[in-house]
Amino acid sequence: MNRRIIYIYVIIIDVFTLLFFILSMIYTSKIKNGTSSGNPFELEEESDKMNYFKNNITSNYPDKAYCICGDDTFLDYCNEELLKSGCKNLSIKNEIKNLRKFTQCEEIQNKIINGNFKLKNIFEIKTDSIHSLITTLIALNIAIFIMVILYFPCFEFWVKRKEEEFNDYYKAKQKEKEEQKEEGKKKSIFSDFLDWCDTFCRALSLVSLIYGILFLISIAILIILIIIIIIFSIVCGLYNSDDTSKYLDFLDCTNVNKVGFYKFSSLEDLSSHFIALKIVQSFYMIFVFISGFYTFSERFFKHEKIIFI
């Protein structure tokens, strides 16, 4: 393949790798900062509960005594005026989905008001584990980015320099032979054999060194990439398995006063940051693999031969 085309491909791949690296760093940093203080529910004070709900009521109400008006639910049957406006009484049979959500809201509310539960005892948040793993992920993302971005140009420059050094040595040997012929000197067969062995050993040593370094760097990149995939999967698994989504659903309950939960707003930001990170980190890992594999295959399977002039 034409060297100019190769460099165009490499530049395109590296541009996308750089783009998703930057985006990944942005969102991993936001998650790192958002989890740096540990479990935000540790900041809860007893007086905060006074601001959690619009109405501090218990959940001991009879079944079906609920009036549904759009997104609002009232703890009583709908009166005639509400029914005319489009509201309807809750029926367990045809409103089972709304009942389930409403029941969950009531259960959590009852734990806070009547059971005097703290939020950390209701919602299990794994911010500490997420923080340590996301910090490791940032370090590995940076490490593999440096290796991949500098891998191709630095390796190419080093190989080209070594090839030039070998060719200079080979030219010097050829020039020495020509000068000896002009002077009428003739080397013995044994001496020519030693020169050939020296040239061959130098060439073999150079080729072995090139492919040895190429192989080691490629293996290192692959190992780091696998570790990144494992850590990223664990981080996402931790976030998906904790109660952050349950807590955010609770904030949408009818009787909840969102302003009263301002101390824990970092959990709302964490949700949006994780959604974005899952996308950009996935693309980043894909382009890191493409970049490393392309560089390895181009050099290994379509290698440049040492030029014997």
Q: Mind listing the pLDDT tens digit for each residue in 99-143? A: 455 677 888 888 888 788 889 888 988 888 899 999 999 999 999
Question: What is the DSSP annotation of 119-158?
Answer: HHHHS---HHHHHHHHHHHHHHHHHHHHHHHHHHHHHHHH
Please tell me which residue, 173 or 232, carries the higher pLDDT value.
232
* Together in a domain, 100 and 161: no
Of 1-10, 47-56, 294-303, which one has max mean pLDDT? 47-56
pLDDT at 224: 92
> Among residues 93, 117, 141, which one ends one of the domains?
117
Query: Computed over its alpha carbons, how large is the radius of gyration of the chain?
Result: 34
pLDDT tens digits, one per residue of 154-178: 766 777 777 777 777 777 766 766 6
> What is the distance between the alpha carbons of residues 80 and 17, in angstroms, rounded to a whole number?
62
282: pLDDT confidence band, cut at 50, 70 and 90?
Answer: very high
Buried b / exposed e along 78-108 (16+ C-beta atoms within 10 A): beeebeeeebeebeeeebeebbebbeebbeb
Helix 127-182, helix 189-241: angle, nearest 10: 170
What separation, in Å, do the N-terminal and C-terminal C-alpha atoms of the chain show?
Answer: 22
Q: Is residue 217 included in any domain, yes or no?
A: yes
Q: Is residue 267 included in any domain, yes or no?
A: yes
> Among residues 117, 142, 165, which one ends one of the domains?
117
* Residue 192 pLDDT exceeds 70: no
Q: Quick one: which of 148, 131, 170 has its CA closest to 266?
A: 131
> What is the distance between the alpha carbons of residues 100 and 171, in angstroms, rounded to a whole number?
84
- The structure tokens listed for 131 are 């923080």
> What is the distance between the alpha carbons of residues 293 and 216, in angstroms, rounded to a whole number?
13
Q: Quick one: which of 144, 293, 146, 289 has its CA closest to 214?
A: 293
Q: What are phi and psi for residue 67, nearest 5 degrees?
A: -115, 120
> What is the distance between the alpha carbons of residues 68 and 77, in angstroms, rounded to a whole number?
9
* Together in a domain, 135 and 210: yes
pLDDT tens digits, one per residue of 11-47: 788 888 889 999 999 999 999 998 888 888 888 888 8
* CB 40, CB 127: distance < 8 Å: yes
* Together in a domain, 192 and 281: yes
* Together in a domain, 20 and 112: no
Using DSSP, state whether 204 is helix, strand or coil.
Answer: helix
The percent of residues above 90 in pLDDT, for the chain, comes to 19
Number of structural domains the chain divides into: 2
**Residue 72 is which amino acid?**
D
* Together in a domain, 112 and 129: no
* Together in a domain, 77 and 181: no
309: pLDDT confidence band, cut at 50, 70 and 90?
Answer: very low
Q: Is residue 180 included in any domain, yes or no?
A: yes
DSSP β-bridge partners for residue 69: 72
In eight-state DSSP terms, residue 53 is B
Q: Is residue 297 included in any domain, yes or no?
A: yes
* CB 140, CB 228: distance < 8 Å: yes
Using DSSP, state whether 22 is helix, strand or coil.
Answer: helix
Range of the domain at 67: 54-117
Q: Is residue 308 included in any domain, yes or no?
A: no
